[in-house]
């Protein structure tokens, strides 16, 4: 007979205990199937065998109407009694080789994995799919004894599965607002090994409207799979208007256009930054025509999110981690650009752990850092950090580093230095503006991050003024984020050059004041004349 063909896109794991008051289980199941659930697992933790068989039998009758296969959680006897498509087992249930002997070659066997070694074993033992979890904390199961994987941990397990034919779903704490982040940031650099689907209890079962809940999840997964299978650029995270023209002239014209958009729209740019630079960053933001808001309290930042144009998270003095977690999640949920400046990430283990934690909870759109910071993000040993500065002469091939990291992180990467390198994983840009005074004042890197935030907000607004919102539901943000990153870097460095040439500038002190003036006075024409931009690929 052969194995049933399974679509893992939206895999409902049932749980009668999570139904909202008054909601009938069978009604809820049928509504979720109407919404687009593609696979159902019957999970009964409290039922005795007779009751489990009855629930599975009736559930299968409903699923059969929609041609959706059913699997049974843990209980091989219930699977055999009802004749379902297969089983899902955990690490402490019946060993997989024995389960295979009992259910036969045609039954689907899925197994839970939470580590790379469990994934290796699942492949060796012939699992059809793995349930990778827990991605995030969940109220549906006690997972306190398990390591939370975050999207990055899911990605490490997906790397093991690449080329094996074993399918994958992620499970645990997955909801509509964090779904696009999970799908993108667990995907490997070459985009071949991405999740086949997601397994969900509460987001569907606990909903009063399971049809809509399932439909929302299904739309995002479908859209993600469509983009991954058809895009010429496998990242396809950000929208650009049509096919991008990769020429210096097009990029510089684009920067000029974004300068106008910022001045016209004065986007609100929420900045959670460090107390060394907070004033300079706010002033630089105002000088280019945007509007800064420097709030940090978790309750405040959640309310702000719908109104802002972009969010900057600069963890220089890392005193507001709770607020950063909330603000980043809200930015992803509201599909606002999120610029991450992991200041001195390589310098201490606390900073590294904080970054891992933040990145497990939200997906940055643009990551900006100096060589030490980008080296730490890329786990490169070529460049080391000392405090907030990097040491050594830099990367032997900086363009390759930013391109690879952009693909790994599914974000635009900006590497600042005497020359700046920017990549979205496809195009690599190099810019060479600036002045050595920038190294003699505090906050030049942080101000660059702020300006990238301003132009990211502008790029999103520009896109939305010309296109329909959210044509592609799996995209995290809309607008040309590569161009936004370029604009932030070029505008800041050109203004620095102009400031340093002024006769009244005698050193870093006068330069700092002049820099704000020249950001304020900078015109698109000056940028066009001075921008030193090269395309490397
Ligand atoms: C798709 C999927 N993945 C993981 C699990 C968890 O299964 P298990 O480890 O057996 O734990 P219990 O579900 O029995 O609590 C799952 N059920 N489905
Ligand atoms: C059943 C289950 N298994 C998990 C694992 O990590 O193996 S997490 C989990 C619960 C998933 O429920 P929700 O979608 O409500 O978070």
Does residue 173 have its Cβ closer than 6 Å to ligand 2?
A: yes
Please indicate whether the domains covering 10-230 and 248-531 agree at the CATH topology level.
no
**Where is pLDDT greater, at 383 or 133?**
133
Give the length of the chain: 537
* pLDDT the model gives residue 187: 79
Over residues 468-508, the pLDDT tens digits come to 777 777 778 889 999 999 999 999 999 999 999 999 999 99
Over residues 132-142, the pLDDT tens digits come to 999 999 999 99
Average pLDDT over residues 328-336: 91
Going from the Cα of 499 to the center of ligand 2, the distance in angstroms, rounded, reads: 56
Tokens standing for residue 168: 């994958």
Over residues 71-90, the pLDDT tens digits come to 999 999 999 999 999 999 99
Spatial separation of the C-alpha atoms in residues 455 and 458, rounded to whole Å:
5
Going from the Cα of 88 to the center of ligand 1, the distance in angstroms, rounded, reads: 7
- Structural domain 248-531, CATH architecture: 3-Layer(aba) Sandwich (3.40)
| Nearest ligand, measured from the Cα of 110 | 1
Instruction: For the domain covering 10-230, report its CATH number.
Output: 3.20.20.70
Q: For ligand 1, atom 2, which residue shows the shortest CA distance?
A: 131
Does residue 201 have its Cβ closer than 6 Å to ligand 2?
A: yes
Percentage of residues in the chain having pLDDT higher than 90: 72
Spatial separation of the C-alpha atoms in residues 239 and 250, rounded to whole Å:
16
Give the number of other Cβ atoms within 10 Å of residue 185's Cβ.
Answer: 23
Ligand 1, atom nearest to 11 Cα:
1
Cβ neighbourhood burial of 307 (10 Å; 0-12, 13-18, 19+): exposed
Average pLDDT over residues 403-413: 88
* pLDDT the model gives residue 379: 83
Q: Long-range contacts of range 72-77, CB-CB < 8 Å, 24 or more positions apart? A: 72/41, 72/42, 73/13, 73/41, 73/42, 73/43, 73/44, 74/43, 75/49, 76/102, 76/103, 77/49
Q: Which of 37, 112, 119, 205 to mutate to test the pocket of ligand 1 (most atoms within 8 A of CB)?
A: 112
Spatial separation of the C-alpha atoms in residues 536 and 87, rounded to whole Å:
51
Percentage of residues in the chain having pLDDT higher than 70: 94
Over residues 291-306, the pLDDT tens digits come to 999 988 888 888 888 8
What's the complex ipTM? Answer: 0.99
Is the pLDDT at 234 greater than 50? The verdict is no
Average pLDDT over residues 329-358: 90
Please state, rounded to an integer, the average pLDDT across all residues of the chain: 91
Average pLDDT over residues 155-178: 94
Does residue 134 have its Cβ closer than 6 Å to ligand 2?
A: yes
Q: Which of 20, 44, 113, 134 to mutate to test the pocket of ligand 2 (most atoms within 8 A of CB)?
A: 134
Q: Is 413 helix (H, G, I), strand (E, B) or coil?
A: strand
Ligand 2, atom nearest to 146 Cα:
6
Locate the domains of the chain by residue range.
Answer: 10-230, 248-531
- CA torsion sign for 385, 356, 403, 334 is negative
153 sits in which H/E element: helix 150-161
Report whether 136 contacts 146 (CB < 8 A). Answer: no
- With cut-offs at 50, 70 and 90, classify the pLDDT of residue 236: low
> Catalytic: 63?
no
């Amino acid at each position: 007979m052969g194995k049933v063909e399974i679509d893992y896109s939206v895999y409902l794991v049932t749980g009668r205990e999570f139904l909202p008051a008054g909601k009938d289980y069978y009604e809820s199941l049928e509504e979720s199937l109407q919404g687009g659930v593609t696979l159902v697992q019957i999970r009964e933790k409290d039922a005795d065998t007779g009751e489990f068989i009855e629930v599975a039998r009736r559930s299968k009758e409903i699923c059969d109407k929609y041609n959706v296969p059913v699997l049974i959680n843990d209980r091989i006897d219930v699977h055999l009694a009802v004749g379902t498509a297969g089983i899902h087992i955990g690490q402490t249930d019946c060993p997989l080789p024995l389960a295979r002997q009992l259910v036969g070659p045609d039954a689907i066997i899925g197994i839970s994995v939470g580590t790379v070694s469990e994934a290796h074993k699942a492949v060796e033992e012939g699992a059809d799919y793995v349930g990778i979890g827990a991605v995030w904390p969940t109220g549906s199961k006690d997972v306190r004894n398990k390591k939370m994987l975050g999207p990055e941990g899911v990605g490490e397990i997906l790397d093991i599965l690449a080329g094996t034919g074993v399918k994958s779903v992620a499970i645990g704490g997955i909801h509509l607002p964090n779904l696009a982040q999970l799908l993108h940031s667990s995907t490997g650099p070459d985009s071949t090994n991405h999740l086949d689907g997601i397994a969900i209890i509460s987001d569907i079962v606990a909903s009063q409207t399971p049809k809509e809940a399932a439909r929302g999840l299904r739309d995002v997964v479908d859209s993600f799979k469509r983009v991954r299978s058809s895009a010429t650029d496998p990242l396809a995270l950000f929208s650009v208007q049509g096919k991008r023209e990769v020429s210096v002239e097009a990029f510089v014209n684009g920067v000029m256009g974004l300068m106008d958009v910022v001045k016209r729209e004065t986007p609100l740019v929420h900045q959670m930054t460090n107390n060394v630079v907070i004033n300079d960053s706010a002033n630089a933001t105002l000088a280019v025509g945007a509007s800064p808001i420097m709030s940090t309290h978790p309750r405040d930042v959640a309310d702000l999110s719908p109104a802002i144009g972009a969010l900057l998270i600069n963890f220089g003095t890392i005193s507001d981690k709770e607020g950063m977690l909330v603000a980043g999640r809200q930015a992803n949920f509201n599909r606002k650009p999120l610029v991450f400046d992991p200041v001195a990430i390589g310098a201490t283990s606390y900073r590294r752990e904080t970054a891992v934690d933040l990145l497990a909870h939200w997906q940055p759109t643009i990551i900006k850092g100096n060589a030490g910071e980008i080296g730490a993000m890329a786990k490169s040993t070529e460049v080391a950090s000392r405090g907030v500065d990097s040491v050594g002469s830099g990367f032997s091939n900086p363009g390759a580093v930013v391109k690879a990291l952009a693909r790994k992180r599914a974000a635009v990467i900006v590497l600042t230095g005497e020359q700046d390198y920017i990549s979205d994983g496809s195009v690599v840009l190099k810019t060479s503006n600036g002045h050595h005074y920038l190294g003699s004042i505090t906050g030049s890197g942080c101000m660059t991050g702020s300006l990238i935030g301003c132009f990211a907000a502008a790029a999103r607004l520009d896109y939305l003024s010309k296109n329909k919102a959210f044509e592609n539901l799996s995209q995290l943000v809309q607008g040309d984020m590569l161009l936004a990153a370029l604009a932030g870097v070029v505008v800041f460095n050109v203004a620095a050059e102009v400031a340093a040439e002024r006769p009244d500038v005698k050193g870093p002190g006068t330069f700092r004041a002049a820099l704000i003036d020249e950001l304020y006075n900078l015109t698109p024409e000056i940028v066009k004349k001075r921008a030193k931009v090269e395309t490397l690929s």
